[in-house]
Structure 1
Amino acid sequence: MTGIIGIACVFVMVFGGYLAAGGKMSIILYSLPFEMMMIGGAAIGAFLVGNAGPAIKHTLSDIKKVFKGPTWKAADYRDLLCLLFELVRLARDNPVALEEHIEAPETSSIFARYPKIRKDHEAVGLIADTLRAAAMNYDDPHQVEEVLDKRMEALRHHAMHPAHALQTMADGLPALGIVAAVLGVIKTMGSIDQPPEVLGKMIGGALVGTFLGVFLAYGIVGPFATRVKSVVEEDQHFYGLIREVLIANLHRHPATICIEVGRQNAPHHVRPEFTELEGALRGLRQQEAA
């Protein structure tokens, strides 16, 4: 919602101020299709040249994050801590029974209670692979921590590509606007024998290219890149919480302590309250007892 409000504010303030100062939209509207064709078309072409097919699809998919915000909400962090509590406790009490859950999460009764998390292949992979490594006695916390750090860095690098691609496009748009403006000036010089009122409109149309390049760069595409980056960084905290809990588990801390370590490492605005989480864990125990 804030993304839509922000875009509306940009357009209203820029063009509203222009009209309030006595500007006329006729020259802009006449030149806009041609300038947009040159600037937007060149920007899209450069984007296609600079990115592979999967990266292009990834970027187009991530644009919706500008409007939807982070994938993981406060309730998801609570559910993740409950899921990890169940798995860590089962790993301590019955390692053999744990195997069916980490080898086939799609059919696991534990993962089934948390469908949103189960749909995220990266989260499930982090959990299953780390618990599997512990079951294979690959339980040196420092080694596992190093493996997890490298995996999460690779995940973050991949997730950040759309933001980098959009920022690269934003950086190039002002220069493309100058290209369009120069072409407009060339066109104007070819009509130098025309009267001043005609030349004035032609020069004004050429300057629309400079305006459009800068406007798109700093008013639309650049903020999109910044927003995508901030959303990706926030979603990475979800995977960081998995890391903290599973590393604490390898240090053989009690399951409740492992979960508390994860809770305290969650960002403040999505961190479950201690009493809220305790109530959720108590509900799990009651379900198992029943």
Structure 2
Amino acid sequence: MARTLITMLMVLISILALANGSDLCPQFYDHSCPQAKDIIQSAVAKAVAKEARMAASLLRLHFHDCFVKGCDASILLDSGGSIISEKGSVPNSNSARGFEVIDEIKAAVEKACPKTVSCADIMALAARDSTVLAGGPSWEVPLGRRDSLGASLSGSNQNIPAPNNTFQTILTKFKLKGLDIVDFVSLSGCHTIGNARCTSFRQRLYNKTGNGQPDFSLDQSYATKLRQNCPRSGGDQNLFFLDPVSPTKFDNSYYKNLIAKRGLLSSDEILFTQNQQTMEFVKKYAENQELFFQQFAKSMIKMGNITPLTGKSGQIRKICRKVNS
């Protein structure tokens, strides 16, 4: 009897939380838009089938959004009126992509359920679906986020970890968002898919130390190969696989690459060379893909919970690129 009462109480609390919009929960749209998840999954599958790289792009959009003002779809806003878009920031300019895919998904969801599903939730689901389509883990995405009424160009420039940041700088940026050193290592594993531009790692190929010495944290045969399409000057936008072993498959090759000195970005390499704790995690994930998958899913849920707008805060944008008039 007591157990039944406790169960009923828990259900009641969940219903009240859902009604008040105060908490995120996977069942948020089960009654208001039950087809939303299927619509989003289908659209993501279509986009990834057309271009495998899109899986990494959609995953990255969610990451870059959550690190600025929380997971509120501020990264999707175009400039206009008092809004200066985050798309022009250093981490996003000529780099962040997938906006058209989000537009298509939003239009389809609006047709089915007008003014119901937020752009922020669409991004969170698209990130999960992209991971699964690439062969990675799945997880229940807590839902109920609302969309911001503004953007933060300065926040985008300052808060998103950069390829050339020091270990401590990146860790601090994670901690400021409520993420820890385990999240740092596991979320970096998303670099098992996707691409990076020459400009993001050129300093590792040419005189990184300032004394003409090569970067010995990078395998020299790999470095020689990279130099072929990443010259000292020019070619800034030339693309390279973050994981040359299995570039479109979400697996643990990223960690194996780090151990073999074939991590492309400095922000990757430092996980194995500058901290004993992160080095041990790299070794564990390189040996045990399932362990990596389990932690990645946990860390993605945790990242998706960074200061979301809920309840009556923000709005449900009709078009993700602009606030409702």
Q: Which has the higher contact order (CA 8 A, sep 6+)?
A: 1
Q: Shorter chain as normaliser: what TM range?
A: under 0.3
Q: Which has the larger radius of gyration?
A: 1
TM-score scaled by length of structure 1? 0.26
Using the size of structure 2 for normalisation, the TM-score is 0.24
Q: Which has the higher helix share?
A: 1
